[in-house]
Amino acid sequence: MSKIIGGPGTVCGLILRIGQFLSASASMSVMLTATESYNRTAFHYLSASMCLQATWSFWLACAYLSALKYKKDLQTPILVSLFLGGDLVTAVLSLAAACSSAGVVVLYAKDVECCDVHDQFSCLRYGVAVALSFVTWVQIAVSFHVSFWIYASV
């Protein structure tokens, strides 16, 4: 298998995983503190999805760090297909969660203009959580496509 920048076990791959973990954790934290007073299914789904994403990226970052330290090769067909499957699931879930929450935030902020009426609905806070989830998705999409490229290049 050819070594590609951003692939499993590389420094760029590790930076991507750390970035995913940080943005997913930040999105989850902002959403969890915001939903204390305002419960919506889409927001709960975003929190759950970002929690899953943060966990997945954290363990992969640990695996990449270990591979870099002990000079192990993570770009074997079995491992790459495992990363690929996990990235596909988390990427689709992250985008779905980000978009469903974005739909609700736009509804409240633009369509019914709820931000001005109810003080307890913090449009800015929800907006930040959704933006962070989109940042997470972009990073996981990059990881997925790099893994897919490596897998298809065999």
Contact residues toward a copy of itself (CB under 8 A) are 39-42, 92, 95-104, 106-107, 110-111, 148-149, 152-153
Question: DSSP characters for 134-146?
Answer: HHHHHHHHHHHHH
| Minimum CB distance to a copy of itself smaller for 58 or for 148 | 148
Distance of CA 99 to the CA centre of its chain: 13
Q: What residues contact residue 99 under an 8 Å CB cut-off, 6+ apart?
A: none
**With respect to a copy of itself, which residue has the nearer C-beta, 65 or 89?**
89
- The distance of closest approach from Cβ of residue 114 to a copy of itself in the complex, given in angstroms and rounded to an integer, is 11
Q: What is the DSSP letter of 6?
A: T
Q: By C-beta, is 3 or 72 nearer to a copy of itself? A: 3
Least distance (Å) between residue 103 CB and a copy of itself? 3
- Please, what is the minimum distance in Å from the beta carbon of residue 96 to a copy of itself? 4
Q: Which is nearer to a copy of itself, 14 or 95 (CB)?
A: 95
| Degrees, nearest 5: CA angle 133-138-143 | 120
